[in-house]
């Protein structure tokens, strides 16, 4: 038997820390957040559905809790915002035990602690079907520092943080029943939202446009280009790949498409003026996080993936599709 809803909410409320920006947290009809003068409140929602976005045969509930927080926070990072609060709504399957609920919540609270975010509200109910998780995050950013997708101009450099394709490679292995290395498991189950990088780029005015990579470089770059009404030339030999990804690539070249379309990288893709190169390289060293210049923005709306030979590359798989279903489940 599982604890009643009120008991569960009370339990959650006792665990919820309240940061300085929160005027009202859990317990009133609404939460209330104090936004400092000249700051804007940024809000983003994500829906995670069992069987669509995650599979409980592969995913432990603690990791799922952390990931539910991180993938939402990643959208705030993508605009240069400082994360402040999270609202969480969950539909818990009727057969879930108290221990399973506890494991999931432990993961959620670990994620909140990691990003110093307050849980300020939400809802819970019993689901007759799968586990349903909906999280809404809010963050603040100075009104002059918000980085949108629409600011890229011709001649800007195109940059990406971290490495690409690791999470997609992990999912590929899981689907083939292959065990994951600690590195790939971390990249897939516990992605890290690049909040510090996002805020540094915003505060230091280093980027002209930005988004986070949830569906893969190929699809997400096209969103940025459309919003900025520009094109791009991406040099494929510059794509940052982990050693583990490169090792697998030596065995099977076709895995390369996972770096373009694998999804769930949660790295930041951004554009910057060429004059910022030195500053960005310094930032990379300071943060101990790789920042790779992978191409440039062009005025013509075309988007070319250029191989070392100079020929244009065409990926064999298109945008990230979680478990191969045809429904549109793209995540912003
Ligand atoms: Mg996003």
pLDDT at residue 276, rounded to an integer: 98
- Cα of 138 vs centre of ligand 1, distance in Å, is 14
Give the Å distance between the CA of 228 and the centre of ligand 1: 16
What is the C-alpha R_g of the chain? 20
What local confidence, expressed as pLDDT, does residue 4 receive? Answer: 74
**Residue length, the chain?**
332
**In this structure, which topology does domain 5-142 adopt according to CATH?**
60s Ribosomal Protein L30; Chain: A; (3.30.1330)
- C-alpha 282 to ligand 1 mean position (Å): 26
Q: Which CATH number fits domain 157-306: 3.30.930.10, 3.40.50.1370, 3.90.650.10, 3.40.50.10140?
A: 3.90.650.10
Distance CA 199, CA 94 (A): 41
Task: Tell me, in angstroms, the distance from the centre of ligand 1 to residue 175's CA.
Answer: 25
Per-residue pLDDT tens digits for 106-136? 999 999 999 999 999 999 988 888 999 999 9
Distance CA 85, CA 298 (A): 37
Domain boundaries defined on the chain: 5-142, 157-306
pLDDT, residue 318, reads 59
pTM of the model: 0.92
CA of 75 to the centre of ligand 1 (A): 4
Distance of CA 188 from the midpoint of ligand 1 (Å): 17
Spacing, Cα 235 to ligand 1 middle (Å): 23
- Please tell me the distance between residue 165's alpha carbon and the centre of ligand 1 in angstroms: 17
**pLDDT averages per 10-residue partition of the chain, 332 residues:** 70 81 90 96 95 88 96 98 96 92 95 95 90 97 98 98 97 93 96 98 98 96 97 98 97 95 96 98 98 97 93 78 43 44
| Crossing angle of the two packed helices 98-115 and 5-15, in degrees rounded to 10 | 30
pLDDT value at residue 329: 39
Q: How far is the CA of 285 from the centre of ligand 1 (A)?
A: 25
Q: How far out from the chain centre does Cα 6 lie?
A: 32
DSSP-assigned states of every residue in 34-71: PPPTTEEEEEEEEEEEBTTTB-TTT--HHHHHHHHHHH
| Distance separating alpha carbons of residues 120 and 202, to the nearest angstrom | 26
Report the separation in Å between the CA atom of 108 and the middle of ligand 1, taken as the mean of its atom positions: 20
Ligand 1 center–CA 330 separation, angstroms: 10
d(CA 331, CA 264): 9
d(CA 131, CA 54): 10
d(CA 219, CA 297) in angstroms, rounded, equals 16
């Amino acid at each position: 038997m599982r604890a009643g809803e009120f008991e569960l909410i009370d339990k959650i409320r006792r665990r919820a820390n309240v940061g300085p920006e929160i005027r009202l947290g859990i317990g009133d009809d609404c939460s209330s957040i104090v936004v400092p003068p000249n700051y804007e409140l940024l809000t983003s929602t994500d829906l995670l559905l069992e069987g669509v976005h995650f599979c409980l045969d592969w995913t432990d509930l603690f990791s799922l809790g952390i990931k539910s927080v991180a993938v939402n926070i990643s959208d705030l990072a993508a605009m240069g915002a400082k994360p402040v609060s999270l609202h969480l709504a969950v539909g818990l399957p009727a057969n879930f035990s108290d221990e399973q609920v506890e494991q999931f919540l432990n993961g959620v609270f670990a994620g909140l602690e990691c990003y110093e975010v307050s849980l300020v509200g939400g809802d819970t109910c019993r689901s007759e079907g799968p586990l349903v998780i909906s999280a809404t995050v809010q963050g603040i950013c100075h009104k002059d520092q918000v980085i949108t997708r629409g600011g890229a101009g011709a001649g800007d450099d195109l940059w990406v943080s971290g490495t690409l394709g690791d999470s997609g490679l992990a999912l590929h292995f899981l689907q083939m029943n292959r065990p994951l290395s600690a590195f790939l498991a971390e990249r897939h189950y516990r992605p890290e939202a690049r909040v510090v990088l996002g805020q540094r780029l915003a505060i230091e005015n280093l980027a002209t446009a930005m988004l986070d990579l949830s569906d893969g470089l190929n699809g997400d770059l096209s969103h940025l280009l459309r919003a900025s009404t520009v094109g791009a030339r991406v040099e494929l030999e510059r794509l940052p790949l982990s050693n583990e990804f490169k090792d697998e690539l030596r065995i099977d070249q076709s895995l390369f498409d996972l770096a373009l379309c694998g999804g769930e990288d949660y790295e930041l893709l951004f554009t910057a003026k060429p004059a910022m190169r030195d500053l960005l390289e310094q930032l990379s060293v300071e943060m101990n996080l790789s920042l790779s210049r992978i191409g440039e923005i062009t005025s013509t709306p075309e988007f070319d993936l250029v191989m070392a030979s100079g020929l244009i590359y065409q990926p064999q798989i298109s945008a990230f599709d979680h478990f191969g279903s045809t429904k549109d489940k793209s995540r912003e």
